[in-house]
């Protein structure tokens, strides 16, 4: 190695070492995350996981996403004051590229602590109703994706598939969001009042004790074949304690003689028939699109975004198991878990045999070609 080339090698080595040291220094000085997501939840759920996944996929891993379970709105001010202290110490005046608030509790948290925590970072909300303009102004450079459940559209799908249904059993807890969804369900049912009624066990006059998993099991077992279940929201029992909505969905699907309809995509594949559902991953992807626009220089407050459109989804295996006619399926419905019929199986076998035959002919032609070439 010459004197000059040796020095060039040494300089390159030193430069590489400096870059690595700088990267390591940056990694140790600040939390890992260009985008911070504050979830209004105490624990991971299909919703939080879906939002995070959609956000990461939408950003194509161009930014690191730090997901924080801030806590639900059931906590008192002391809890969120403690969360602020933790985040303030972790970030120590540094700011992420964007703060995403998932749910009303996280949005209220940022309205209160934004100036002292991430004062210059744009805020994007999701997982909640569209906030009042005043609340948006309190959040600084703020915009977001409102969450709108398609209660009326789900009721329409229910009666398209079950035109003879005489009863809809609405499942809800005592939260304000659940009461809002109930009001929407009652309004939607007015269109079908001549053929069916809707009841809300645990939340009717004379039966106002709420539900827990035991009473939910009893309610599910009492649903007739001429009825259906509409799950609005069930995350707390009658005493206010958290319950597993996933377990509740499975219990309803297993014990109810009538099919179960849901409002969220993540409860599909749990034995439910379907619904016009919102998609957590779609919310995350839309937020990612807004982050890209902010990165291109567009102020968050000037971005006008609409709610992600819910989609009609039906589990075709559940439909077949419950002997429900497919005649009422909307043209744009997404069909999941389509059962394989004997005709489909025969088609798969035939296609496989044809492909095998073509492959054998190709091999035979290759052998003959090589023999002729050898001669």
Domain contains 137: yes
Gap between the Cα atoms of 40 and 7, Å rounded: 56
Domain contains 106: yes
Query: What is the model's pLDDT at position 135?
Result: 84
Domain contains 53: yes
137 compared with 336, residue with greater pLDDT: 336
Averaged pLDDT, 269-277: 95
Q: What is the pTM of this model?
A: 0.74
Long-range Cβ pairs for the range 300-307 (8 Å, 24+)? 300/98, 300/122, 300/123, 300/124, 300/141, 300/142, 300/143, 301/136, 301/141, 301/142, 301/143, 302/143, 303/143, 304/143, 305/143, 305/144, 305/145, 306/145, 306/146, 307/130, 307/145, 307/146, 307/147, 307/148
Domain contains 370: no
Query: What is the model's pLDDT at position 372?
Result: 53
Query: What is the model's pLDDT at position 343?
Result: 45
How confident is residue 181, by pLDDT bands cut at 50, 70 and 90? very high
Query: What is the model's pLDDT at position 145?
Result: 94
Contact 173, 210 (CB under 8 A): yes
| pLDDT mean across residues, the chain | 84
Averaged pLDDT, 180-190: 97
Contact 98, 121 (CB under 8 A): yes
Q: CATH no. for residue 204?
A: 3.40.50.2300
pLDDT at 12 over 50: no
Reported as a single tens digit per residue, the pLDDT across 289-316 is 999 999 999 999 899 888 999 999 999 9
Domain total in the chain = 3
Reported as a single tens digit per residue, the pLDDT across 340-361 is 865 444 433 344 444 445 455 5
Reported as a single tens digit per residue, the pLDDT across 154-176 is 999 999 999 999 999 999 998 88
Domain contains 371: no
Averaged pLDDT, 169-197: 95
pLDDT at 51 over 90: yes
Query: What is the model's pLDDT at position 205?
Result: 92
In the chain, what's the furthest Cα-to-Cα distance?
97
Same domain for 181 and 273: yes
Domain contains 227: yes
Averaged pLDDT, 26-36: 56
How confident is residue 34, by pLDDT bands cut at 50, 70 and 90? confident
Averaged pLDDT, 324-331: 94
Same domain for 107 and 162: no
pLDDT at 236 over 80: yes
How confident is residue 76, by pLDDT bands cut at 50, 70 and 90? confident
Domain contains 347: no
Structural domain of 60: 35-148+280-307
Same domain for 284 and 273: no
Averaged pLDDT, 193-208: 94
Same domain for 257 and 200: yes
Same domain for 68 and 144: yes
Same domain for 327 and 299: no
How confident is residue 368, by pLDDT bands cut at 50, 70 and 90? low
Q: Residues 6 or more apart from 281 whose CB is under 8 A from it?
A: 50, 51, 53, 54, 57
Domain contains 342: no
């Amino acid at each position: 190695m010459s004197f000059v080339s040796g020095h060039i090698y040494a300089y390159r080595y030193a430069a590489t070492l400096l870059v690595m040291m700088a990267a390591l220094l940056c990694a140790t000085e600040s939390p890992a995350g260009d985008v911070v997501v504050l979830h209004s939840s105490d624990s991971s759920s299909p919703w939080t996981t879906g939002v995070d996944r959609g956000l990461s996929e939408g950003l194509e891993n161009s930014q690191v996403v730090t997901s924080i379970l801030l806590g639900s709105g059931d906590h008192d001010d002391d809890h969120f004051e403690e969360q602020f202290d933790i985040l303030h110490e972790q970030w120590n005046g540094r700011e992420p590229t964007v703060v995403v608030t998932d749910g009303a509790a996280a949005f209220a948290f940022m309205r209160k602590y934004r100036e002292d925590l991430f004062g210059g970072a744009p805020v994007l909300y999701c997982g909640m109703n569209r906030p009042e303009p005043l609340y948006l102004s309190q959040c600084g450079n703020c915009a977001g994706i409102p969450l709108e459940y398609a209660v009326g559209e789900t009721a329409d799908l229910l009666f398209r598939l079950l035109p003879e249904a005489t009863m809809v059993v609405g499942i809800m807890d005592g939260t304000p969001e659940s009461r809002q969804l109930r009001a929407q369900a009652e309004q939607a049912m007015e269109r079908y009042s001549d053929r069916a009624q809707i009841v809300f066990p645990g939340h009717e006059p004379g039966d106002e004790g709420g539900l827990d998993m035991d009473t939910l099991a009893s309610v599910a077992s009492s649903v007739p074949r001429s009825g259906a279940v509409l799950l609005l929201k069930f995350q707390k029992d009658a005493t206010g304690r958290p319950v597993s909505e996933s377990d509740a969905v499975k219990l309803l699907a297993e014990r109810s003689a009538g099919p179960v309809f849901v409002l969220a995509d993540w409860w599909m594949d749990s034995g439910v028939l379907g619904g016009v559902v919102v998609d957590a991953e779609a919310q995350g992807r839309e937020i990612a699109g807004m982050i890209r626009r902010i990165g291109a220089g567009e102020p968050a407050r000037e971005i006008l975004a609409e709610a992600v459109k819910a989609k009609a989804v039906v589990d075709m295996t559940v439909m077949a198991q419950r002997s429900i006619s497919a005649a009422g399926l909307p043209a744009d419905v997404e069909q999941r878990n389509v059962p394989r019929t004997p005709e489909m199986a025969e088609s798969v076998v035939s296609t496989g045999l044809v492909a095998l035959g073509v492959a054998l002919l190709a091999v035979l032609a290759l052998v003959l070609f090589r023999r002729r070439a050898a001669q």
